[in-house]
């Protein structure tokens, strides 16, 4: 029972200090890692704009497309990276 209270108090303390619940912080860190992987795959910086992301996606598709010796999985991964980064740009204030 005491362990449960410590967990609750710890969660509330994190919420008060950081402004977020602990599980929200874990989700954010996974989201950041996923976006970083997408930027690395496309070869763009964290400040890349819409046009830069689209150009990087086109360059990558040229390399990984099945017609050029690539495979469909690589194309799907490139498309997912593009979609993720474009969605994050729209969400910026």
Q: Where are the domains of the chain?
A: 26-91
Indicate the pLDDT class of residue 91, thresholds 50, 70 and 90.
Answer: low
CA count, 13 A, side-chain hemisphere, 66:
5
The dotted CATH code for 26-91 is 1.10.287.110
Q: Return the SS3 of 65.
A: coil
Q: What is the pTM of this model?
A: 0.68
Model confidence pLDDT, tens digit, residues 37-84: 999 999 999 999 999 999 999 999 999 999 988 899 999 999 999 999
């Amino acid at each position: 029972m005491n362990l449960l209270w410590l967990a609750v108090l710890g969660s509330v303390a994190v919420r008060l200090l950081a402004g977020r619940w602990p599980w929200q912080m874990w989700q954010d860190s996974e989201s950041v890692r996923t976006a970083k992987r997408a930027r690395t795959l496309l070869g763009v910086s964290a400040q890349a704009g819409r046009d830069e992301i689209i150009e990087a996606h086109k360059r990558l598709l040229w390399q990984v497309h099945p017609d050029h010796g690539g495979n469909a999985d690589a194309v799907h991964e490139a498309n997912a990276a593009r979609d993720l980064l474009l969605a994050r740009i729209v969400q910026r204030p």
